[in-house]
Amino acid sequence: MGMLDGKVAIITGAGRGLGREEALLFAKEGCNLVVNDLGASHDGSGSETKIADQIADECRKLGVKVVGNYDSVTDFNKAKAMIEQAISEFGKLDILVNNAGILRDRMIFNMTEAEFDDVIAVHMKGTFNMTRHAAEYFRGQVKVNEDLGNFGRIINTASDAGLLGNMGQSNYGAAKAGIAAFTNIVSMELRKYATVNCVVPVARTRLTTDATPSMVDTMSKLDDRGYDIFDPKNVAPMVAFLASNEASKITGEVFRIVGDKVASLIGWTTYKWIDNDGERFTPQILAERVKKELLKGKPSKESFMGLFGSLGLKM
């Protein structure tokens, strides 16, 4: 008896990396699938239908029903058609995993408009497109049958490149930080109909190796126990859990997964206030007090490189 027996899920970017491992685990847990993958390279160029077909075949061998989809999540109408495909093939939709992504890294002073727009389109708009149409379906189902409760599950994918920052990735990081904020807001809007959560994987994928060859050695290292902490298989169990009935009371959360560790993240929070005793601040007063009072003693922000250091790895 699988945790997702009889469920129907769409997983975008399912052909390789994280999406592939999520699709395989969902299949093992009894979930029927629409596996979406454009079959593009890590920078979004090209397309190849066999990428989605291959993972579909692997999942079918695990005893579930699977159909492939080769469309880009950047297209609003094709995203809607993907939701309709799941309903047409399987009679319903229970789960959406937004995982599709590309990279076009560049320092901000060299980044082109297309490099910014294309990355935002896949990650941020793609997540919106898929969520928008799934949300309409989930809401419609509950309005017809309130006994379903918040049956829908949406799991988005963010990155520490956005939450902590990483040079050369202002486009990607902005999209990923935006997805975390999007998760927070949409979880409020869909509380009656679906849970909406976000995972922040630290894993070895094309986006951390092919796109950034300098990361290959680091992402291939084992820890002191000989454990492969960057294996993308490590991320899939958390996604499967969040997709299950067991997670019906968990929504609006952001979880980092790295190796055998899962962290619960808190977004922007107030550190300290200063006040001016009922008088409007002047620039001169702020110049005197911000550094001396407001920022004094403030803990250092967690950093992307510091995260690797906390795992005992050297960059």
Active site positions, annotated: 159, 172, 176
In this structure, the number of other CB atoms found within 10 A of the CB of residue 271 comes to 10
Give the whole-angstrom CA distance, residue 205 versus residue 142. 37
Residue with tokens 């609003």: 76
Which contacts qualify for 275-282: CB closer than 8 Å, 24 or more apart?
Answer: none
A 10 A CB-CB count for 49 gives 14
Written as one string, the DSSP assignment of 34-91 is: EEE-----TTS----THHHHHHHHHHHTTT--EEEE---TT-HHHHHHHHHHHHHHHS
CB atoms within 10 A of CB 40: 18
User: What backbone phi and psi angles, to 5 degrees, belong to 60?
Assistant: -60, -35
User: Which of 185, 99, 181, 189 minimizes the C-alpha distance to 142?
Assistant: 189
Sign of CA dihedral 154, 160, 164, 170: negative
Phi, psi of 32 (to 5 degrees): -80, 150
